[in-house]
Amino acid sequence: MSHLFTLNRFFWKYRRRFFFGIFFVVLTNYFRILSPQLTGYIINSVIAALKPGSAMAPHVGNSGYNFIVRYIIDWMGGLSFHQKILATGLTLIGLALISGFFMFLMRQTIIVMSRLIEFDQKNQIFAHYQKLDNTFYKQHSTGDLMNRISEDVSRVRMYTGPAIMYFINLAAVIGFSLFFMLRSDVKLTLVSLCPLPVLAIAIYYVNTIINKKSERIQVMLSNLTTNAQESYSGIRVIKSFVQENQMFRFFKQNSETYRDNALSLAKTEAIYFPSMALLIGLSTLITIMVGSLDVVNGVPGADVGKIAEFVMYIQMLTFPVSAIGWTASMTQRAATSQRRINEFLLTDTEIKDAPGAKDIAISGKIKIENLNFTYQNTGIHAIKDLNLTILPGEKIAVVGRTGSGKSTFAKLLLRMYNADKGFIRYDDVQVDDIKLHSLRNQVSFVPQEVFLFSDTIKNNILFGKADGTDEEVFEAARQSGIYSDIINFDNGFETLVGERGVTLSGGQKQRISIARALIKKPELVIFDDCLSAVDARTEKEILGHLYQYLQDRTAIIITHRIFSLFNFDRVIVMEQGRIAEQGTHAELLKAGGLYAAMYHRQQEQQPGEDV
């Protein structure tokens, strides 16, 4: 429960709303509590008028009533009998309207407060997500991440909003009605309230069962959805491997378990509501029975109006009392969710600005010494004792077999991971001492896995430079060799990408993500195999455009294709996390090592592609 204390600072932040909320809850109930008294009074008056002077005729007094009710009764004293009934009816409607108005204000303050807290919490979580590093994202599934921001936060909202509101409401209702009930008749109060604690406990108990069951159903439903979603997106694979029946059986099995659980929940709920009604009915029944016996036996102070008054109090109490169970289990769930949120907010990232980190201007001079890196989760030693010096303006190609550590090297340059040992220095400043924002702002990185947002092509390119002009977007598109493809789409640069938009080819996506990097006009560009999906001829053409663009810039281009590397100042060949060879294309060919072997193999496989 203590995890919920973290929320206190939000309550403090919205203290005005919270305070007014409580105030309105009290007012709502204050005006509601007047109607039973007025009803009781008018019933007694009717009976007295019907049987004037009889022993059964009640004493139509007003001593135990609230002062407002007393005031109304005194005012009605001068009216005729019919006018009195009419005035009472109108007053009851008036009271209901006033109480309803305050109830509206109560929701407007407390529920709105909970929405504001929800919004703050979502922002807080989202901001924290942005700070976390790759390692965190590798260890958590997307489903998990989504859950935290939507489900956990909305569960916490059930506490900050409805649960707290019902709780204050309950306190106010119990306070007011007990006060007037006890003042009116202690014995009748005690007997009529007997079943209510049982009701509260029973509701709490059943609610917990219902929550557990519905939580299980939630999990199943999300599995089912994931399952269906994967089947749709992987439908081509399923069909081409003729696995439709297999998938169907799997899905059917899952949905049958889901159905069984949903039915079991429905059964519990079916017992829940009637039992509640039974217990509430019991209270009413006891009140009528005990109250009537008192009237019949002529107990002093007993009258029919009081029975009506008490029955109305009980009706008022039952909803808040039955909400105790609900409130308690909501609070429990919120505490669990808040614990998860707190744990998450405490996860720290290793990749952050060191104290005293600097903004530097990157010229492209990079010195790498004895660099080593091991992936924590797999223990793969991906970079081993790597030494390299890159001069400003150099164009470097990095080649090597798959898994040789090329992408890891690029990520270390951007400090997406911290090296275990060794240094990377930009202009003689160690990478750990450069502000992350400064570093990543000056380096354009095109990752190996293309990611485009479900937005227009233009906005996807502008992601690299939010304030870029149309002309800059077109230019970046030209440089990455995608311009003519884009203007051939019906909507040109406004074409939507992603599920709702056009389906782009792999090579088109890659080139858009290159354009996104180029529009930044950085000093250093790092391309991670980002032309793998275009054919050799197109690659050569794009590299031609790029060469011009890259003239004064430093470039590190990771690629699998050797034949298009002629213009590079240096080629680095990586093998098992180390630099195996380096030199110009001609030098390496002459040396007859790994590079030469790779080159000849590619030449044999794709003769004539060497354009």
The residue ranges that bind Mg ion (CB under 5 A) are 407, 448
Residue 138 or 239 with smaller CB distance to ligand ATP: 138
Q: Is-contact 280 199, C-beta < 8 A?
A: yes
Compute the least distance from the CB of residue 527 to Mg ion, in Å.
11
Q: Residue 403 phi/psi, 5° resolution?
A: 85, 10
Stretch that binds ligand ATP, among 51-59, 256-264, 273-281, 404-412 (CB under 6 A): 404-412
Residues near 240 by beta carbon (within 8 Å), at least 6 away in sequence = none
Query: Cα angle vertex 470, ends 452, 503, to 5°?
Result: 30
382's contact among Mg ion, ligand ATP, none, with CB below 5 to 8 A by partner kind, is ligand ATP
Binding letters toward ligand ATP, positions 343-382, x by CB under 6 A? --------------------------------x-xx-x-x
Residue 76 or 530 with smaller CB distance to Mg ion: 530
Among 29, 114, 404, 495, indicate the residue that binds ligand ATP (CB under 6 A). 404
Helix (H) or strand (E) holding 192: helix 186-193
Q: Is-contact 206 325, C-beta < 8 A?
A: yes
| Burial class, 231, CB count within 10 angstroms (exposed 0-12 / middle 13-18 / buried 19+) | middle
Count of residues interacting with ligand ATP (CB under 6 A): 16
Residue 478 or 560 with smaller CB distance to ligand ATP: 560
Binding letters toward ligand ATP, positions 447-486, x by CB under 6 A? -x--------------------------------------
DSSP bridge partners of 381:
374
Question: Does 143 interact with ligand ATP (rule: CB under 6 A)?
Answer: no
Among 63, 402, 484, 503, indicate the residue that binds ligand ATP (CB under 6 A). 402
Residue 199 or 517 with smaller CB distance to ligand ATP: 517
Q: Strand, coil or helix: what is 194?
A: coil
400's contact among Mg ion, ligand ATP, none, with CB below 5 to 8 A by partner kind, is ligand ATP
588's contact among ligand ATP, Mg ion, none, with CB below 5 to 8 A by partner kind, is none
Residue closest to Mg ion (Cβ): 407
Helix (H) or strand (E) holding 531: none
DSSP bridge partners of 116:
none
Question: Does 506 interact with ligand ATP (rule: CB under 6 A)?
Answer: no
Among 15, 16, 138, 212, indicate the residue that binds ligand ATP (CB under 6 A). 138
**Which letter does DSSP use for residue 109 in this model?**
I
Compute the least distance from the CB of residue 132 to ligand ATP, in Å.
14
Residue 302 or 565 with smaller CB distance to Mg ion: 565
| Burial class, 576, CB count within 10 angstroms (exposed 0-12 / middle 13-18 / buried 19+) | middle
Integer Cα distance of 446 and 270 in angstroms: 57
| Burial class, 578, CB count within 10 angstroms (exposed 0-12 / middle 13-18 / buried 19+) | middle
Largest CA distance in the chain: 128
Residue 405 or 464 with smaller CB distance to ligand ATP: 405
403's contact among Mg ion, ligand ATP, none, with CB below 5 to 8 A by partner kind, is ligand ATP
Residue 384 or 478 with smaller CB distance to ligand ATP: 384
Question: Does 405 interact with ligand ATP (rule: CB under 6 A)?
Answer: yes
Q: In three state form, how does the secondary structure of 429-491 look?
A: EEHHHECHHHHHHHEEEECCCCCCCCCEHHHHHHCCCCCCCHHHHHHHHHHCCCHHHHHCCCC
Helix (H) or strand (E) holding 396: strand 395-400
The CA distances from residue 380 to 81, 375, 376, 417, 528, in Å, are: 94, 5, 8, 14, 20
Among 99, 109, 408, 480, indicate the residue that binds ligand ATP (CB under 6 A). 408
Compute the least distance from the CB of residue 396 to Mg ion, in Å.
16
- Count of C-beta atoms within a 10 Å radius of residue 488: 9
- Residue with structure tokens 């006891």? 286
Residue 382 or 461 with smaller CB distance to ligand ATP: 382
Compute the least distance from the CB of residue 135 to ligand ATP, in Å.
8
Q: In three state form, how does the secondary structure of 304-345 look?
A: HHHHHHHHHHHHHHHHHHHHHHHHHHHHHHHHHHHHHHHHHH
Measured in whole angstroms, how far is the alpha carbon of residue 571 from the centre of its chain? 46
Q: Is-contact 539 532, C-beta < 8 A?
A: no
402's contact among Mg ion, ligand ATP, none, with CB below 5 to 8 A by partner kind, is ligand ATP
Residue 51 or 138 with smaller CB distance to ligand ATP: 138
Compute the least distance from the CB of residue 237 to ligand ATP, in Å.
21
Among 197, 403, 506, 592, indicate the residue that binds ligand ATP (CB under 6 A). 403
Least Cα distance to 342 among 114, 13, 121 occurs for: 121
Binding letters toward ligand ATP, positions 292-331, x by CB under 6 A? ----------------------------------------
335's contact among Mg ion, ligand ATP, none, with CB below 5 to 8 A by partner kind, is none
Compute the least distance from the CB of residue 598 to ligand ATP, in Å.
12
573's contact among Mg ion, ligand ATP, none, with CB below 5 to 8 A by partner kind, is none
Stretch that binds ligand ATP, among 119-127, 159-167, 246-254, 397-405 (CB under 6 A): 397-405
Question: Does 284 interact with ligand ATP (rule: CB under 6 A)?
Answer: no
Compute the least distance from the CB of residue 365 to ligand ATP, in Å.
24
Residues lying near ligand ATP in the complex (CB under 6 A) are found at: 138, 375, 377-378, 380, 382, 400, 402-408, 448, 529
